[in-house]
């Protein structure tokens, strides 16, 4: 099959990749399979992507970013995040093949970083991205059984303070924390921290 435009070729690559992701784990997919399924040449693939990982990061971050468009310009953070989680659940086979796969789970923080930077305009803290990736990995390994609300709560309760507070509020909270004494610290259990680590 011949494609007339670059956008058609890229679309064929992404459709082939998506179809393969429905059938097998991320690590089992080879660039040659994608090329064969898309009916394109090696040269055409490498004109768009350096490798399979770059394709995956672009494909999944774009898919998750579609939640921003679906939600509309007036949507709240919560509404957008719930739509992101719904996209994952609606495509559970594809996301299970990514998140439950060792190689796939390793690139997932990059997917979240790219999605977040395009959505919000800034790069999230890497530690936060890794923690949020782990929540989704655990969710996938559990067959996406946990409710969207429970999964969303884990995200919110692990947002870094600098995303939630103004600079003045953050400085004041840090000052308060720094003045705490050793006896002020009591063993506390954090309700929303993942237990599968």
Least confident of 5-9, 32-36, 55-59, 88-92: 5-9
Least confident of 13-22, 32-41, 90-99, 185-194: 185-194
Averaged pLDDT score across all residues of the chain? 89
Q: Are 51 and 17 in contact (CB under 8 A)?
A: no
pTM over 0.75: yes
Q: Please measure the distance between the N-terminal and C-terminal CA atoms of the chain and give it in whole angstroms.
A: 47
Under the banding of pLDDT at 50, 70 and 90, the label for residue 1 is: very low
Q: Are 151 and 125 in contact (CB under 8 A)?
A: no
**pLDDT, tens digit, 9 for 90 and up, residues 26-73:** 999 999 999 999 999 999 999 999 999 999 999 999 999 999 999 998
- Whole-number Å distance between alpha carbons of 64 and 58: 10
Q: Name the DSSP letter for residue 50.
A: S
Q: Are 20 and 29 in contact (CB under 8 A)?
A: yes
5 pLDDT more than 80:
no
**HEC assignment per residue over 71-100:** HCCCCCHHHHHHHHHHHHHHCHHHHHHHHC
196 pLDDT more than 60:
no
**pLDDT, tens digit, 9 for 90 and up, residues 155-186:** 888 877 777 778 888 788 888 888 888 787 77
């Amino acid at each position: 099959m011949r494609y007339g435009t670059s956008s058609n070729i890229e679309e064929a690559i992404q459709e082939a990749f998506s179809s393969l992701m429905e059938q097998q784990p991320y690590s089992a997919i080879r660039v040659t399979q994608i090329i064969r399924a898309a009916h394109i040449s090696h040269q055409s693939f490498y004109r768009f992507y350096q490798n399979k990982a770059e394709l995956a990061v672009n494909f999944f971050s774009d898919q998750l970013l579609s939640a921003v468009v679906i939600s509309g310009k007036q949507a709240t953070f919560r509404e957008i995040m719930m739509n992101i989680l719904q996209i994952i659940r609606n495509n559970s086979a594809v996301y299970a093949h990514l998140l439950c796969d060792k190689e796939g789970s390793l690139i997932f923080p990059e997917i979240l970083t790219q999605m977040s930077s395009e959505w919000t305009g800034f790069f999230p803290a890497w530690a936060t991205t890794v923690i949020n990736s782990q929540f989704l990995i655990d969710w996938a390994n559990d067959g996406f059984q946990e409710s969207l609300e429970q999964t969303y709560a884990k995200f919110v309760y692990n947002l870094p303070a600098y995303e939630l507070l103004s600079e003045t509020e953050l400085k004041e909270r840090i000052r308060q924390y720094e003045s705490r004494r050793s006896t002020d610290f009591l063993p506390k259990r954090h309700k929303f921290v993942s237990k599968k680590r």
